[in-house]
Amino acid sequence: MATFVLIHGAWEAGWAWDWMVPYLKDVGHEVHAPSLTGLGERSHLLTPDVNLETHIEDILGLMKWGRLENVTLVGHSYGGAVATGVADRAPERIGSLIYLDAFALKDGQSLSDLMIPERAETMRNYADENGEGWYLPPFPADFWHVTDAKEAAFLEELSTAHPYATMLQKLRLIGGLDKIAKKAYVLATGYEPSSFPKFAEEARSLGWPVEELETHHFTMLSMPDDTAEVLIRHAA
């Protein structure tokens, strides 16, 4: 059975995976779904100093102190940036790396660099106008094309402010990422505009398996069983 470490996206926390985790555990997989610093039940730790590096260290610490090996590392959305940094620094602990409608950064890139331009501008203005220039309050669910009432209520009840520095800090890689042989990309195709099709295309060009789920960005809410099945197919 696989050991999954699930990294949530911006404004989310470990709760983002709650509807999907049972589908993994019920067939015997080990699952870790931590909340990153400053988010969810750790929102009291939100400060202007929390950045991408902070979140990379969160997951490295989880794997080290949890003695996790042959990990299937999954990053959703912003979590893809975190997963990239983690996999690059601890490739010996990673058996498979899966991007779930996620940012796949290269060395020297930031999230803001890779967003569609209008989305990057929205984030910058939103932080300036509503977050004192350093944090981003949650957006309403319909901003993400989530129209199902249950899914929208879940997101809007639990989402918390996200540190803007995580989107501005450039990722620095040291060469470990290339040591991970098993990688996959999962693209959500049921909404526009999206920053992610270009990452799926690049994954295809590199020979990675690419799968598509016809739903909105939060596939683990709208299609938890299908999302779990895809992750299991590409697990270590």
Q: How far apart are CA 11 and CA 194, in angstroms?
A: 17
CATH number of 3-233: 3.40.50.1820
Q: How far apart are CA 32 and CA 3, in angstroms?
A: 8
Residue type, 97: L
Catalytically annotated residues: 77
Residue whose C-alpha is closest to residue 7's, from 83, 66, 119: 83
**Mean pLDDT of the residues in the chain:** 97
pLDDT tier, 213 (very low <50, low <70, confident <90, very high otherwise): very high
Longest Cα–Cα distance of the chain, Å, equals 47
Mean pLDDT, residues 85-105 taken together: 98
Tokens encoding 143: 């901003």
H-type alpha helices, 39-78: 52-65
pLDDT tier, 14 (very low <50, low <70, confident <90, very high otherwise): very high
- Give backbone dihedrals phi and psi of 61, rounded to 5 degrees, phi first: -65, -45
Q: Tens of pLDDT along 32-50?
A: 999 999 999 999 999 999 9
The pLDDT value recorded for residue 99 is 98
Q: Tens of pLDDT along 170-195?
A: 999 999 999 999 999 999 999 988 99
The pLDDT value recorded for residue 63 is 98
The pLDDT value recorded for residue 65 is 98
What is the H or E stretch that residue 192 is in? none
Distances (CA, A) of 165 to 47, 110, 162, 174, 229: 10, 10, 9, 21, 34
Provide the percentage of residues in the chain whose pLDDT is more than 70.
Answer: 100
pLDDT tier, 70 (very low <50, low <70, confident <90, very high otherwise): very high
Q: How far apart are CA 72 and CA 153, in angstroms?
A: 30
H-type alpha helices, the chain: 21-25, 52-65, 79-89, 111-114, 117-130, 149-158, 165-168, 197-205, 219-222, 224-233
What are the structural domain ranges in the chain? 3-233
